[in-house]
Amino acid sequence: MGFFDKIKAGLKKTRDSITGQISSMLHAFTKIDEELFEELEELLVMADVGMNTATEICDTLRARVKERGITDPNEIMTLLQEVVTEMVSGDNELHLDTQPSVILVIGVNGVGKTTTIGKLASRLKKEGKSVILGAADTFRAAAIEQLEVWAERADVPIIKHAEGADPAAVVYDTISAAKARHADVVICDTAGRLHNKKNLMDELSKISRIIDKGLPGCSKEVLLVLDATTGQNAVNQAREFKEAAGLTGIVLTKLDGTAKGGVVLAIHRDLGLPVKFIGVGEQVDDLQPFDAEDFARALFERRPEA
């Protein structure tokens, strides 16, 4: 299965929900009028796009319809694809320009954080980079063991301490090992923290200071892993973490299991955070780099039966 086909298959539930309803709605109209835009806005909100984003999309569509003299409601779907592509475009690349570079992976328990780290390590290794993992989630039972399993699958080394150890100490040792082994990328797991626990946010700050002291000037990505199935709750989590953790991007998991893929738009519009990867399945290569055009096409491409 090709790159685009994977994303298209992974977004099937969202596409069937959003595109199916929008197509049906558009077919009920013989002209483009205010009632059409009101119904479209309502459908977008129901798809977890968020009120602000839905309003902005419809305002942009109104302007383009007028500007281009479009009168056929069936052309709205193509316009929608165009507008959404522009809206979620941005700097979606990982910036790993130093040796070593650091990826700090954060997020609450249950979002697929450890799995994401394993898949990311495997992807980077296939790209020819040497990777070392740091098991700094020392609080949750079995977190270290889970990461060890993924390290073995990806065939990359892992630095770990005993359960309950100081996470910052694990990060320090991982950085030291990376420098000694001339590794390209350090990926550090962190405790699955609730975003309203101040002490855990303080710990994140401590880890960041350790990285800055051990590798001054290094490329650092701080990726928040979010579960797409939680919809608008994912946006709220991202908002809290953005304030506390200096996020550089989002990894959105479990997109294949939900009709709430519209949350990607809300994250971009409301928070200005790029989605860098999306999880569209269980396999190791189902963590895909986010591509705005592919995403919009997978969601809003007109189906033959439409």
Strands (E), 107-205: 131-136, 158-159, 185-190
Q: Which residue has the tokens 């080394």?
A: 157
Q: Beta strand 220-227 with 101-106: parallel, antiparallel or unpaired?
A: parallel
Mark whether 196 and 215 lie in a shared domain. yes
Contact predicate 174/188, CB 8 Å = yes
Mark whether 255 and 180 lie in a shared domain. yes
Mark whether 268 and 127 lie in a shared domain. yes
Q: Is 190 annotated as a binding residue?
A: yes
| pLDDT of 306 strictly over 50 | no
Residue 96 included in any domain = no
Say if residue 100 is preceded by a cis peptide, omega within 30 of 0.
yes
Work out the burial of residue 164: count CB atoms within 10 Å of its CB; fewer than 13 is exposed, 13-18 middle, 19 or more buried. exposed
Question: What is the reported pLDDT for 189?
Answer: 92
Answering whether pTM is above 0.85, one says: yes
Residue 262 included in any domain = yes
Mark whether 177 and 148 lie in a shared domain. yes
End-to-end CA, the chain: 24
Question: What is the reported pLDDT for 36?
Answer: 95
Higher pLDDT, 243 or 59: 59
| pLDDT of 83 strictly over 70 | yes
Structure tokens at 37: 């835009």
Residue 224 included in any domain = yes
Q: Is 261 annotated as a binding residue?
A: no
Q: Is 254 annotated as a binding residue?
A: yes
As a whole number, mean pLDDT of residues 141-166 equals 91
Any idea what the CATH number is for the domain that residue 237 is in? 3.40.50.300
Contact predicate 102/120, CB 8 Å = no
| pLDDT of 198 strictly over 80 | no
Any idea what the CATH number is for the domain that residue 12 is in? 1.20.120.140
User: Cα 74 from chain centroid?
Assistant: 31
Question: What is the reported pLDDT for 178?
Answer: 96
> How many structural domains compose the chain?
2
Mark whether 233 and 186 lie in a shared domain. yes
Q: Is 62 annotated as a binding residue?
A: no
pLDDT digits (tens, 9 = 90+) for 254-298: 877 766 778 888 888 888 888 999 887 777 777 888 888 888 888
Mark whether 105 and 83 lie in a shared domain. no
Can you tell me the distance from the alpha carbon of 300 to that of 26, in angstroms, rounded to the nearest whole number? 13
Q: Is 110 annotated as a binding residue?
A: yes
Question: What is the reported pLDDT for 39?
Answer: 94
H or E stretch at 252: strand 249-253
Q: Is 109 annotated as a binding residue?
A: yes
Q: Is 114 annotated as a binding residue?
A: yes
Can you tell me the distance from the alpha carbon of 127 to that of 287, in angstroms, rounded to the nearest whole number? 14
Q: Is 113 annotated as a binding residue?
A: yes
Task: List the single range of 126-135, 177-186, 204-213, 257-266 with lowest mean pLDDT.
Answer: 257-266
pLDDT grade for 305, boundaries at 50, 70 and 90 = very low
Where is the domain boundary, 90, 121, 141? 90
Residue 278: count of CB within 10 angstroms of its CB: 27
Where is the domain boundary, 69, 90, 111? 90
Q: Is 256 annotated as a binding residue?
A: yes
Residue 199 included in any domain = yes
Q: Is 112 annotated as a binding residue?
A: yes
Residue 303 included in any domain = no
Mark whether 132 and 189 lie in a shared domain. yes
Q: Is 48 annotated as a binding residue?
A: no
Taking the CA atoms of residue 219, residue 228, residue 301 and residue 295 in that order, the dihedral angle to the nearest 10 degrees is 0
Mark whether 61 and 145 lie in a shared domain. no
Residue 296 included in any domain = no
Q: Is 53 annotated as a binding residue?
A: no
Q: Is 189 annotated as a binding residue?
A: yes
Mark whether 221 and 186 lie in a shared domain. yes
Mark whether 169 and 20 lie in a shared domain. no
Question: What is the reported pLDDT for 219?
Answer: 95
Residue 125 included in any domain = yes
Where is the domain boundary, 42, 59, 90? 90
Contact predicate 168/207, CB 8 Å = yes
As a whole number, mean pLDDT of residues 97-122 equals 91
| pLDDT of 214 strictly over 90 | yes
Q: Is 253 annotated as a binding residue?
A: yes
Mark whether 159 and 84 lie in a shared domain. no
Q: Is 229 annotated as a binding residue?
A: no
Question: What is the reported pLDDT for 239?
Answer: 83
The domain in which residue 67 lies consists of 3-90
Mark whether 154 and 198 lie in a shared domain. yes
Residue 301 included in any domain = no
